[in-house]
Structure formats: C-alpha cells, structure tokens
Amino acid sequence: MAVSRDAVFDRITVDHLVLGGTRVAWSLRPGFVDPDPWYFQLQAGYAGTPDADDWEDVGEAGENTSYAIDDDRRLFGKSWDVAYRLVLSTPNGTYTSEAAHSYGLLPKRDWLIGREIVRQRKLLHRKYTGWEGWLLRRRQRGTTPDPTDLAVAVTDPLTGGIITTQVPETYGTEFEGGFFEPYATYFQLTEEQWGKPRTELGTKNPVQQRAETVAFPRVDHGDVFVHAGSDRRYAVHPLTVTSQHRGVPLILNCELRLIPSSDVVYQLTMPTA
C-alpha cells in the first residue's frame, strides 16, 4: 500500500504472489497532463526508501500501460519486505512514485481508511511528539567481503556470522555499505530509562526507549534511527505492530537502544552533516 498520493501517481496497488506473478496496478492524478507517450518502468526493491540503491527494473518499460506483472519470485524468508515503485518517463520529464509495499491488497475504501490513520499519526509526530531524524535501512542483501581474506573479512567463513562490527566498510553489518541512504522521518520516543547495572565488564549505562513510527517505509530489526537534533543513533530492536488494517501494518512500536558514540555507525554521514 502506498501511503499517500504524490503529484503524479494517484494510487499503486500490489497484488502479491510469493511464487511470482505479482500484479502491480496504478492510476495517475487527474491533473497530470504531460504529452504522450508515457513509458512506465516497474521497479522492485527491498529497502523501500526513495534513495536506496537496490531498486531494479522489472522487465521492459511499457508504453501507456496501467499494470505490470512481476514473474520473479522475490521473497524467500519470513520478511515481507519487497516493495515496488514506478518510474514514469514522458517527453517533459521523469517521475518516480512512492514505494508500494507488499503488505496486502486493500479495496479503495480500506486504503483510504489506512491512509487517514497514517496521516493522523504522521501529523502527531510532525507537529507534537516526534523526533525528527533519519532512518537508516540496514542492508539485508548485497556483497559480503571475502570471508577467507583475513584483511577484509567481517564474517566467519564457515558459519557466515559477523565476527567484527567496527569496520567502516560494512558499518557493523555483513554487507558492503552497511546501510542504505538515509530517509528523513520521525520517531516518537518515550522517556529515556537510564540505568547503571554493574556487570563483570564494568559499569554500563544503557539507554533504552520505546518508540513509535509509521510503517512506511518498512522498519526492520537492525535498522538505525539518527536523531537530527543531537546526532544520537539508536539501533532498532524488536518491533510490534500496534495498528493494522485488514492485515496491513500501519503503525509500529519498537525498542530503540542508544548506540555508543564510539561505534562505527557514527561515521555514516547524514544529509545535513
């Protein structure tokens, strides 16, 4: 479900099929009057953010079409993270739609209700309680440095598990680049809980906070939220869906854990930095 309409695309629906044959349909805003021909290129990606570099073309661009079918199977685990978008090319320019997730196909009325719920929550976050910042979507796929080359390896050659988290090439993940481009968003955080538990490693000062955000784009365990006002960076931990409509998640709740300032994640540059 695409959260809202942009200036060009009205609504994009994704009728997802796991084994392939996903049907993506779209309509344009009535006021869009660019001259013909219109070429629609369907793209699929996993991060779901506009600037992510994992968007890939699905088939050839279609001329003056209103739907496309993705024959490829794109989901293999339990993470329902594939998203689709469209790139429209006309003689006047190129327009990219918002991402439409594969959460579920909603009839128009339910889509409008879901959109209104998301609008209300975004309003609350933007105007009152939200912390402005960036979401860093963690790469779940990509190129892993050669695990047999000890100079660059970040994963165990046998188990594939991460063996070092402080390498600036992977930023604590197993994939090069570590995270996708930042996406400007809001998280509503609860009051901080400060504690100083004494362990065998010494005194720790963990900061954990519950946080709420909307489910567009998708947020996953391991993503990072960067608070724009303080540059504090938080790791996203277990997520729960606090509001959904007919199976489509709309609002998420998660636990944010403050990442120590010595962590390599702080080397990621934010747009205004």
Partner 1 sequence: MPVYLDLIPVTTQAGRDCNTQATLVPQTPVDHFGGVQTVLTKQRAVVMRQGQLATVTWTMVDPQGRPVDLSGCGIVDSDSSSESEEATTIVLKLVEAVGRCTIQTVTGYSADPTSGAVRAELPAEIFTVPGIYLAEFALANNDADDSIVFSNQFFLVIESGLFGGTLSGPPSLAEVRLHLRDFPEENFLIDTVDFDDAELALMLTRPIQYWNEVPPPIRSYTTQSFPYRYIWLEGCASELCFLAAEHYRRNRLMHSAGGTAVDDKNRELNYQQEGQRRLTEFRKLVAQKKQSLNLSACYGTFGSPYS
Q: Would you state the torsion angle of the CA atoms of residues 223, 228, 229, 230, taken in this order, to the nearest 10 degrees?
A: 50
166 contacts partner 1 (rule: CB under 8 A)? no
Of 148, 125, 223, nearest to 180 (Cα)? 223
140 contacts partner 1 (rule: CB under 8 A)? no
Q: Which of residues 92-131 bind partner 1 (CB under 8 A)?
A: 113, 116-117, 119-121, 123-124, 127
Q: Which of residues 204-223 bind partner 1 (CB under 8 A)?
A: 212
Task: Return d(Cα 249, Cα 213) in angstroms, integer.
Answer: 11
Output the smallest distance, CB 211 to partner 1, in A.
10
Smaller CB distance to partner 1: residue 127 or 196?
127
Output the smallest distance, CB 210 to partner 1, in A.
9
Task: Return d(Cα 164, Cα 61) in angstroms, integer.
Answer: 42
Output the smallest distance, CB 167 to partner 1, in A.
36
253 contacts partner 1 (rule: CB under 8 A)? yes
Output the smallest distance, CB 4 to partner 1, in A.
8
* Stretch of 28-36, 133-141, 193-201, 258-266 lying at the interface with partner 1 (CB under 8 A): 28-36
Backbone angles phi, psi at 173, to 5 degrees: -105, 180
Helix (H) / strand (E) containing 243: strand 233-245
Which residues have a Cβ under 8 Å from the Cβ of 267 and sit 6 or more positions away?
A: 168, 171
Task: Return d(Cα 186, Cα 208) in angstroms, integer.
Answer: 17
* Stretch of 30-38, 68-76, 220-228, 262-270 lying at the interface with partner 1 (CB under 8 A): 30-38
- Phi-psi group of 257: left, alpha or beta (phi > 0 → left; psi -120 to 50 → alpha; rest → beta): beta
Smaller CB distance to partner 1: residue 126 or 141?
126
33 contacts partner 1 (rule: CB under 8 A)? yes
What do you get for the CA distance between the two ends of the chain, in Å? Answer: 32
Of 189, 250, 254, 259, the one binding partner 1 by CB under 8 A: 250
Of 25, 242, 258, 270, the one binding partner 1 by CB under 8 A: 242
Of 224, 216, 132, 219, nearest to 173 (Cα)? 224
The binding site for partner 1 (CB under 8 A) comprises 5, 30-31, 33, 113, 116-117, 119-121, 123-124, 127, 212, 242-243, 250-251, 253
